[in-house]
Every structure is written in structure tokens, then in C-alpha cells.
Structure 1
Amino acid sequence: MLLPDDCLCFIFSFLDCRTDRESFGLTCHRWLNIQNLKRRSLQFPCSFGIVGPSSLSQSCTDISSFHLYRILTRFQHLEYLSFSGCTELTDSALNYLKPYGSRLQTLCLDCCFRISDHGISLVGDGCPSLTTISLYRCNITDTGLEALANTCLALRRVNLAYCPHISDSGLRALSQGCCELQAIKISSCRGVSGVGLRSCSSTLVYIDAECCNLKPEGIMAIVSGGGLKFLNIAGLSCSNFRNGLEAIGNGFAAGLKILSLRMCRSVTDASIVAIAKGCPQLREWNLALCHEVRILGWASIGSNCHNLEKLHVNRCRNLCDQGLQALREGCKRLSVLYMNRNGWISDTAVELFKLYRCNVKIKFEEVMSIGPNWDNLYDDE
């Protein structure tokens, strides 16, 4: 009991065992206070994290204003807080972020259906140090995004996947107001065309825009910042995109390393050739279900993608023996090829590929997601 608080804090920081850390506060009120001060993250049993939930937990806990007040007054040094799955959390509860949320860097509100634009404005006012926010399936609008852009200037990662009420106007506010923005998820945001990201900062390296209503001018806007390393625009099937994806290879995305065009059924050889020539740093490329890619496209990939390590060609109807040969003779750094057998590829072509490229693993399976988690954007550098 004679040890000062700073010594106790030092001792607590060296406890590696989770059980020991949780038991530390059972000793006395003073040790409990030390434990509370050292707590940096809190995630409720109903939470499912920032990566992207698939379903709510059975043991979902409703968090009231009183609960949040008790939590924030007890743990005043939190940097990570997740209410993901707390479907009954209301705007009024977020009032307590203002006096106690100044240290928060990550806030997860996935599937908090009762949070509105007003609640998001309270988050902005109370969490000026916020760098990551996840609003998966929230009912916010562009007004809420504008409030965030005006107050949380240090934002780097924003998850807006399945937010049905946002548009390019809100994205424009974020991209222009948050100059350190690195990653944004807008998957299945049907009101987004992409033009809201025009003239975005070069710090923006990660964009996940799967199943959005992107337009050709939107693609040009998305790559306009010049810093992209990861781009997922899977699910484009509009006739507008027969050659609209050529913008990716026009020079602004020269540093692109991971690209998913999965289910872009109308993308043609012209776009494939432009991307293969204009994105020499590509390491992983998903072309699964891209039925219009033919010999010219496969030959261009083999000739130009010298850094490609992983290629997905599952269920590409026009991948034939000649196309597989072009990939076999090029792509010297290829290590994994995801494919399936179709009527145009003979067993002989597959066996020749295995013979001449024995270092390449052929996997007859489809991988739905590619690339790194957005928390590890620079791990490959």
C-alpha cells in the first residue's frame, strides 16, 4: 500500500496474463482505479468488431444513456469503443461523449439503427481525436457525414457500407474536409456514383465500393487522388462500363496493388489492356466472372503484369488454352492462380501450366474477398 500510483501503473502494464489484469482491480478500490485508468478498449458482448459483421449476437445488450454515463466516467482513457449491434442505442446516450470522449480514436456503431444525424453530430463534437469510425448499416444521411467532416478532421478510416441514405454529396464533404483520409468503405451504397471523391487527397489508399451504382466519371473521380493501392469495385455490370474502366489505367492509379473487378461481366479487353499497362505494381487482381475478357486481355496481363502474385480467373467463360498459355509464359512473379475448369480449357493446358510453372499453386476455389484488412494498409511495404 506504500507504493505510489505511478509504480502501480507500471506494474499493471507488465501483466501479460488477461486473468491477472482483470483480477488486479479486485484487490482494493485503489487498485481498481488503477485498472480503470489503464483500460484503453471496450467492446460489448453484442459487438462484432469493425471488419464487418455478418449477424448480430444472440446475447445483444441494450445500452441506455445511464449505462454509457457509468462506462465513460469509469473508463476515462478509452481509445477504442464499440457499440456494434446495440440496436437500441439512441442519440441522447451519445451526449456523454462530449465530456469523456476526447481520447477516443476508434468508435464502432455498426447496426445502431436508432442513431441519426444528430447523434453523429454529437460524436463529432465529443470525439475530436477520432481516426476511425464504423457506421455499417446505420441510417445516417449526408448531413451526418458533413458534421463529421467539419469536426473530426483527423479521420483516417470510415466504414459506410450498406448505408442507404448517403450520396456523393456526403462523400465530397468527407474527402475535402478530412485531409488525412486513408480508407473508405461504401459497399452497397446505391446512391453513390463515385463523383463525390473527385480531387480526393493522395492519402486515400483504400476504397471498397463493391456493388455501388458507379458511373464512368465516378471511376475517374475515385482514382483522381493518385494514391490508391487497394480498389474493390466488384459487381459492375452496366453496359456503360464496357470500356469505362480504362480510366483506372490512365496514370492516376499507377501505384495500385490490389484490384477487384469480380462480377464485372461487361468489362472488355480494351479496359484490361489499359489497366495491365497503366498499373504495373498490381500484386493481386480478381477477374472472377469477367466473361468478356478474351485472348487479347489475357495476353496483356501476361506481358505487362510483372509484379502480379495472385490472379483470380474463376468462372471466366472466355479463358481458353491460349489465354492460359499467355498467363503461363508471362506473370513471372505469379504464385497463386484461382481458377475452375471450363469447357474452353483442356486438361493438357492445365498440366502444361503445372509443368512449366511448378512454383504456382492452382486453387480450384473462389475467394470472395481479397487484400489486407484496412487496419494493415501499409503492411506490404
Structure 2
Amino acid sequence: MEVVSESDDAETSIIHLPDDCLSFIFQRLDNVADHDSFGLTCRRWLNIQNINRRCVQFECSFTILNPASLSQPNPDVNSYHLHRLLTRFQWLEHLSLAGCMVLNDSSLTSLRIPGARLRGLYLDCCFGISDDGIFTIASFCPNLRVLSLHRCNISDIGLETLARASLPLLCVNLSYCPLVSDFGIKALSQACLQLESVKISSCKSITGVGFNNCSPTLIYVDAESCQLEPKGITGIISGGGIEFLNLSGVSCYIKEGLVPIGSGIASKLRILNLRMCRTVGDESIEAIAKGCPVLQEWNLALCHEIKVLGWEAVGKWCRNLKKLHVNYCRNLCDQGLLALRGGCTNLRILYMSGNARLTPTAVEMFRLHRADITLRTEDMMAIGPYWRTYPQEWT
């Protein structure tokens, strides 16, 4: 029988494994409890756990997939807590401070610790963050790709600061930032040539003209409830790369102001949300149906001015359409449904409810002739590529 000496046994102990081996083991722990308790073993293992942490999100903050609502806002997270957190986790790539409403501009000075490695920063509903905080971010986070400023107190000055810093931004969330206007958007879109996604929902001072001559990399724009002008809509699609466009509830002053979308510039458009665009008419619908050949999902719910000619254009030209929303469209009648039934050869889901002019007979005939289409009553849109920028750990 072979005898193992104490010295031999010590040499094979896990304690003597180099840090890279311990990191390899830590990264492959499948059990959540083991993953969280790894650092309780000793100081060295705690350090291994800390340097392998890439994402931090406060559990108290609102759900990152639904930034429109706060679930458990945390008024207690202050500058001291943030400094201790970033001192411990110095290798972070994604940091969410969403819902930490006590934090102010001076709190962000702690970003100098992990700043060079930071790729995503989420400050949704940090009401104390203003243009001064944006200057700090631009100074300490030169490699930032994703910046979410939902409901922050920033203005065009902050966006100009980001533009001058030449950050490699891909995705920016400016929804519900009332002080942001076309001037700030222009500065950002002209400086950030890799920009892919922009959210400007409910920014009432933005008309869209700031996007003129934007980069062809811009594929996603969420402009829900904005007061866009026809020239602004042209500006949004001017780069030619747009694939996802949300214009739900926009205030467009000209009835056929959406015609430019079908001019051929937005030929890559796949998802278009025109929900509650109550004045959009047949001319715009026909232009979009012809000029957006790869359109896969189109939300026309509550678009009351679309009549038979518009529905016939959808049926005739939207050959790649897979999902169509027609909920509560007042002028969708039996003839319009017949046009949809005879066209849209790839349609698979039709969201339809509250259409008072449709007769039960027309609906049953649609079911009979298009058994390949599922009729649904809910009005759910695809989320779009912007939300894919969140780390997998948060989804």
C-alpha cells in the first residue's frame, strides 16, 4: 500500500491551485447557492468571486425588463454604499442603479474604479442625476456601449457632453427626459457613428429632425408618444438601416405624414408600431405596404382612418407580414377583411378585437379560408433589439 506523505498531500490540496484555476472552477458552478457562497470559504476565494463578478443589479430596483414602473424603489442606497460596492467589484462590465433615487451627480465619482471596463450603465429613475453626472460618466467610462437614462434630469448639454467624449455608444435610453430636444439628439447621432438603438418615448420637445443624416447603423428607434413632424420622421429613417420603429401615439400634424416611410429609405423595416396613430390614412398605408417589402409585424390598432383602399394595399403588398394588429379599427369592414383574407400570404397571427363594422359571417369566413392564421384578441408587440443589450443574467 502506497503511503502519501503530508507534504505530498499538501501539494495536491485545492488551496494551492493558482487563481486562474480557481476562477475556472467558479465560473462553471451551476448551483446558484454554491456560486453565491463561494466567497465565504476564505479571503482568497472571496477575492476570486469579486474579480469574476461582471454584472450588478440591486434587487430593490425595478425590473430591468419593465423600466416603465417602479416595484421596490430603494431610497437608502447612497454614495457611501455605491463606493463600497464598486471598491469590492472592480471588474464590472454592467451596472444597474435603477431606482436608486437618492444618488446624485457626486455619487458617480465612484465610477472611476470600474469605469474603464464598464460597458453598460443603467440609471433609470435616478432623479438626482443631471448634466454634471453625465460629465462624470463621460470622463470615467470611455468604453461605454449602453447608457439608460430613463426619467433622469438631463438636457441637451448632457448629450453634447457625451458627443464630445466620442464614446462608442450603441444603445441610449432617453425616454421621459423632458429637457432633451432635437439639438441634443443631433449632437449624439452625428458623433456616435455606431449608434444602433435610441429610445425617446414621451420626449415632447423632440420632433425627429435631429436624426437627419444619422448613421446607417441605427436600426431601432422608439418614439412612442412624441410630437414628431413629417420632416422628423424622414430624419429618423434617413440612415437607411432602420428595422424597428415605434411611432405609437405620435402627434403627426399632417394626415399623410407617414408617407416618407414608404419612400424606399426604410426598405429594411421589419417591425412597425403605429398603434393609436388615429389620423394615418390610406395614402400612408399604401406607401408603407409597397416601400417596406420585408415588414414582418405591423401594429395598426386604433388607426381609425384606414379604409378599404388601405386594407387592400396591406393584403396586396405585405407578402412577408407574419403578425398584424387591427384591434379597434373603426373602418375595418367586411370588404377590408376580405382583402386581408385574399392577401398577406405569410400571415400567421391576426390580433383582432373591437371591430364594430365586422359581421360574424365575415369573421367565420375568414377562419374557414385562412385556417393557417391564428386570431387573437390581445395586442402584444415584439420587444425589439434594444432590450437584448441587457446581460443574460438579468433576463
TM-score range, shorter chain: over 0.9
Task: Provide the residue aligned with 1:268 in structure 2.
Answer: 281
**Residue segments in structure 2 that go unaligned for 5+ positions in a row:** 1-14, 390-395
Match of 2:30 in 1: 16
Partner in structure 2 of residue 246 of structure 1:
259
**1:73 maps to what in 2?**
87
Distance 1:52 1:160, change over 3 A: farther
Aligned mates of 1:274, 1:267 — CA distance in 2: 12
How far is the alpha carbon of 1:59 from its aligned partner?
5.8
Letter in 2 for 1:374: Y
1:165 aligns with 2:179: yes
Give how far 1:192 is off. Answer: 0.2
Inter-CA distance 107–136: structure 2 relative to 1 (3 Å threshold): same
Partner residue of 1:101?
115
Q: Which amino acid in the other structure matches residue 358 of structure 1? A: A
Do the aligned partners of 2:208 and 2:232 also contact (CA within 8 Å) in 1? yes
2:73·2:101 contact (CA, 8 Å) conserved in 1? no
CA–CA separation in structure 2 for the residues paired with 1:152 and 1:3:
42
- Aligned-residue offset at 1:16: 1.3
What CA deviation, in whole Å up to 9, does each residue of 1:220-246 have, x standing for no partner? Answer: 1011000000000111344x2311100
Give the Cα separation in 2 of the matches to 1:273 and 1:176.
32
Q: Which runs of structure 2 are paired with 1:120-199 in the superposition (5 Å)?
A: 120-199=134-213
Q: 2: CA distance between counterparts of 1:54 and 1:371?
A: 14
- Encode CA deviations 1:80-100: one digit per residue, 9 max, x unaligned: 101100111011111121243
What residue is the counterpart of 1:304 in the other structure? 317
Q: Give the letter aligned to residue 97 of structure 1.
A: L
Give the distance between the partners of 1:349 and 1:259, measured in 2 at CA.
27
TM, length-normalised to structure 2: 0.92
Distance across 1 between alignment mates of 2:71 and 2:306: 42
Determine which structure has more spread, i.e. the larger CA radius of gyration. 2
Shift of 1:50: 4.0
Q: Quote the Cα distance in structure 1 between the aligned partners of 2:378 and 2:71.
A: 29
Deviations 1:130-177 (A, max 9, x none): 110111111100111111122252100101111110000111111111
Shift of 1:341: 4.4
Of 341, 344, 358 in structure 2, the residue corresponding to residue 345 of structure 1 is 358
Q: CA deviation at 1:309?
A: 0.3
| Bigger shift: residues 91-100 or 306-315 | 91-100
Q: 2:331 aligns with which of 290, 295, 318?
A: 318
Question: Aligned-pair distance for 1:5?
Answer: 1.0
User: How many pairs were matched up?
Assistant: 375
* Equivalent in the alignment of 1:221: 235
* Contact 1:124–1:151 (Cα < 8 Å) also in 2: yes
Q: What letter corresponds to residue 335 of structure 2 in structure 1?
A: Q
2:127 and 2:152 in contact (8 A); partners too: yes
Number of the residue aligned with 1:46? 60
Letter of the aligned partner of 1:276 in structure 2?
A
**Local SS of the residue matching 2:40:** coil
